[in-house]
Amino acid sequence: MEIGCLWTGRLWLGANSMLSIKPSNSMAMISMSLQRQRNHTFCFPPLKTSQLPSVSSFIYPHRRWVSNTSASYSPAPLLSIDDSNCSDFEEVELQKQGSPSDFKVLLKGMTYVELEEWVKSKGFRPGQAMMLWKRLYGNQVWTSCVHELEGLNKDFKKMLSETAELKVLSLKTILTASDGTRKILFTLEDGLVIETVVIPCDRGRNTVCISSQVGCAMNCQFCYTGRMGLRRNLTTAEIVEQAVYARSLLASEVGSITNVVFMGMGEPLHNVDNVIKAAEILVHDQGLHFSPRKVTISTSGLVPQLKRFLRESSCALAVSLNATTDEVRNWIMPINRKYKLGLLLKTLREELCSKHNYKVLFEYVMLAGVNDSLEDAKRLIDLVQGIPCKINLISFNPHCGSQFRPTSDEKMIEFRNILAEAGCVVLLRPSRGDDQMAACGQLGKPGPVQAPLFRVPEKFQMAVNASPR
Ligand code: SF4
């Protein structure tokens, strides 16, 4: 059912009531011509993530930047999420078609190995690549424009100013919550806005929470970002620069940023290529040098991508669990209709066998009357049996239009105690920054057309009806 316009596409509700976007005619024409160039068949609908050409090709027809892990578009219905990643190749094609001077390479989209190769391909020594890398990420420098690059060869700087872009985000504003949490809003080159949160902590453990997508396709029913639907993936450079910006803007105010969590806008593993690459850049020991254990990628449970992440990355993993039965999880986290709880936990059990000294973090947002009963606590103990893990119990942060209520503090403590008595490592995570909509599940700005809310299962009607809407 078509219910209105969203962005430059049109929003449709499919038979399964998942969010999908049908591209407008102009987008279709551009993408069809791109497809014809490659002699591929192209048709709408149905759309599959893997079949779509890059949105950046048609959103930014005059785009200057070239990234080998670029923004990509995956507006397919949730149940069409396939196991492939969302990377694309269109911009590389565009680079070949245009004049080289029309395009600039995104330096923060490259791993060190790629940067070194690129520098060599321009006729410079690899040593110049390391000097550049250190000025981008190391030694508290965080250069954001070529003129600030000190100590580099003059010809090398000239080449950089002609062919490379150091900065991909523009600061829009910083909001400070009463508890000191900062929400940073960045404008992207296409005008879309993303949010990054810096959470200071007394014990010197400052965390930056970064976004991996604009909006999110997963439509978790308790999450404000999910109401937006997916607008696009962030590039590697856009992801990395959030951490660089947070360090350079706020280090003097809140102290050094020690932890990075991919828990901002978006499902990180739905943008798995760019996220794995960004994580690699964040932990490079000559650059930002975050400890891999202090860089945490969170997922709602995309099983194939989760397997890939565990095999390819040394960074930490958080799984947003939030329910102890398929019935509840199917409702509040529709990804569970594709990858059931049993499969998700079995996969973790199997994959973690080969990881040494590695614990997954389970996140459990507590929703009054929905997932916070004593039976839930007992089921949760059984579910995580055999998985090296910690459990974070998170207080639900209400937002405009939310149908849920937070579990009371007393009940959260009771729930925590049951888990702890059974031997689980369990923490209560207090809400941070909610007076500036900077808390978990509160990021983003849904437009007038939003992802659908699902039918509430009969036995939870009371819990939901009791909530403010
Ligand atoms: S909780 Fe995470 S995965 Fe779910 S809709 Fe929100 S941003 Fe997406």
Q: Where are the domains of the chain?
A: 105-165, 170-465
Cα 274 from Cα 270, distance rounded (Å): 10
Atom 3 (ligand 1) nearest CA? 267
Distances (CA, A) of 210 to 32, 335, 336: 34, 22, 24
Instruction: Say which CATH class 105-165 falls into.
Output: mainly alpha
Pocket test for ligand 1, best of 74, 78, 196, 220 (most atoms within 8 A of CB): 220
Verify whether residue 440 is a known catalytic residue.
Answer: yes
Q: Do domains 105-165 and 170-465 have the same CATH topology?
A: no
Strand order in the sheet with 104-106: 65-66, 104-106, 164-165
What pLDDT does 204 receive? 74
Q: Is 458 one of the catalytic residues?
A: no
Average pLDDT for the chain: 79
pLDDT of residue 41: 24
Summarised one tens digit per residue, pLDDT across range 92-141 is 223 333 444 458 899 999 999 999 999 999 999 999 999 999 999 987 77
Question: Token pair of 394, please?
Answer: 């998170």
- The answer to whether residue 452 scores a pLDDT higher than 60 is yes
Nearest-atom index, ligand 1, CA of 265: 7
Instruction: Indicate whether 191 pLDDT > 70.
Output: yes
Q: Can you give the pLDDT at residue 7? A: 26
Q: Give the separation between CA 303 and CA 321, rounded to whole angstroms.
A: 13
For the Cβ of 226 lying below 6 angstroms from any atom of ligand 1, the answer is yes
* Each residue's pLDDT tens digit, 42-56: 222 233 333 333 333
pLDDT tens-digit map of 239-249: 999 999 998 87
Ligand 1 centre from 78 Cα, in Å?
12
Percent of the chain having pLDDT more than 70? 74
CA–centroid distance, 333 to ligand 1, in Å, is 9
Domain 170-465 part of CATH 3.20.20.70: yes
Say if residue 29's pLDDT is above 80: no
| Strands 19-23 and 9-13, bridge-based pairing | antiparallel
Amino acid sitting at position 238: E
Report the alpha-carbon distance of residue 267 to residue 272 in Å, rounded.
Answer: 9
pLDDT tier at 465, thresholds 50, 70, 90 = low
Please indicate whether residue 225, judged by its CB atom, sits closer than 6 Å to ligand 1: yes
* 213 in contact with ligand 1, CB cutoff 6 A: no
